Amino acid sequence: MKPKILVIDDEAEICSMLNDFLTKEGYDVVTTTSAMDGIDKVVTEKPQVICLDIRMPEMNGIEVMEQIRRIDKEVTILMATAVMDDAISAEAAKLGAYDYVIKPFDLNYLKKILQVKTATME
């Protein structure tokens, strides 16, 4: 069985699209549109990979990532955003983000980075 992926994105359409795509790829997928719920799901669901939106209304992705790192220092985090910001990218890298994915998602790219990262997790 492939690793569990948690998608945290305030856009329900993004969560739905990633859920459909990643499920078809064989991943166990959990989604939420709430930053706070996402942090809770890190504890309850214990995902191996998190796809985390940068810009959300409750708190930004960097703040969420800081909270997640207090819970799980090893989980793989892919940051997702529609707007590339070098300062945010640098901060995400400092906190250990595995990659930075630009929206709209290139699903082939997402598939490749997940295959590389999760190959040793299965």
pLDDT at 40: 98
Give per-residue pLDDT as tens, 101-117. 888 889 999 999 999 88
Q: How far apart are CA 25 and CA 11, in angstroms?
A: 21
pLDDT of residue 27: 96
Query: Residue 100 pLDDT > 90, yes or no?
Result: no
**Cβ atoms 4, 46 nearer than 8 A:** yes
pTM confidence score: 0.93
Over the stretch 81-94, which tens digit does the pLDDT of each residue have? Answer: 887 777 877 888 88
Would you say domain 4-118 falls under CATH 3.40.1030.10? no
Angstrom distances, CA of residue 10 to CA of 5, 23, 119, 122: 16, 19, 28, 29
**Residue 81 near residue 37 (C-beta atoms within 8 A):** no
Average pLDDT, the chain: 92
Whole-number pLDDT of residue 122 = 62
Report pLDDT digits (tens) over 12-44. Answer: 999 999 999 999 999 999 999 999 999 999 999
